Homo-oligomer: A and B are copies of this chain.
């Protein structure tokens, strides 16, 4: 079995293009993984504005113009085949999960690549901050909050957050390290008091899996890349295509490209 960690982004995309389906956590180390959102032109302006207004939830790494299937972040690739798994939403309802969206492609589709927390998780680990859901072998817990994103045209929705328990002595480190990656959600949006976000039970995440919080750890909340999907589900555009959760689009960018001083 090939070590998927050491693949280049292009090699990983090639395997997905050839039909492999796999979550991408740990694949192509150092290359930036992205959330994907594809919308037809009339909704694309609203979505781009939604992202501009909610940059912590929707940090845009790149945009392919109407009909484009490749671009600088995927020079040799094809946006229609190179994610391991896609989700097609029609009028805001999940219609199909598929590894290839060529049959759904239209010349008016605009593709957005949006930053993903995998990038700052790697930096946290390097900084000595353990990641509970990795240690516990589950998906990160995510919660719809009572905080509304700033809306834009027809696009509106709640802020979705991911939660990582952090020892009290390392919360400042977690803030400092993730703040250096503003293009991939940046610093936490909230620390320590889930009720203020409208979260009543941390053991019941809306997406992903619950994690154990040990004594002396605080729940730390970051804006989450599922926010655009939640907004699309609420706003019900006629067509929207995203990656399937955890099955990210692997770009040619390097995580270090998004590090600020």
* Interface set of A (CB-CB < 8 Å, partner B): 41, 44-45, 48-49, 52-53, 60, 63, 65, 152-153, 176, 179-180, 182, 260-261
- In the complex, what residues of B have CB within 8 A of residue A52's CB? 48, 52, 60, 63
Q: Please give 11 more A-B residue pairs, beta carbons under 8 A apart, in addition to A52-B63, A182-B260, A260-B260.
A: A44-B45, A48-B49, A49-B63, A49-B65, A52-B52, A52-B60, A63-B152, A65-B152, A65-B153, A176-B261, A180-B261
Would you give the shortest CB distance from A111 to chain B, in whole angstroms?
12
- In the complex, what residues of B have CB within 8 A of residue A63's CB? 49, 52-53, 152
Contact status A261-B60, CB under 8 Å: no
* A/B interface sample: 15 pairs, CB < 8 A: A41-B45, A45-B45, A45-B48, A48-B48, A48-B49, A49-B63, A49-B65, A52-B63, A53-B63, A63-B152, A65-B152, A65-B153, A179-B261, A182-B182, A182-B260
A53, B113: Cα distance in complex, Å: 12
SS of A interface (majority): helix
A246, B94: Cα distance in complex, Å: 50
Would you give the shortest CB distance from A11 to chain B, in whole angstroms?
26
Would you give the shortest CB distance from A56 to chain B, in whole angstroms?
12
- In the complex, what residues of B have CB within 8 A of residue A53's CB? 63
- In the complex, what residues of B have CB within 8 A of residue A176's CB? 261
A112, B148: Cα distance in complex, Å: 23
Query: Which B-chain residue is minimally distant from A49 (CB atoms)?
Result: B63
A52, B45: Cα distance in complex, Å: 12
A60, B45: Cα distance in complex, Å: 15
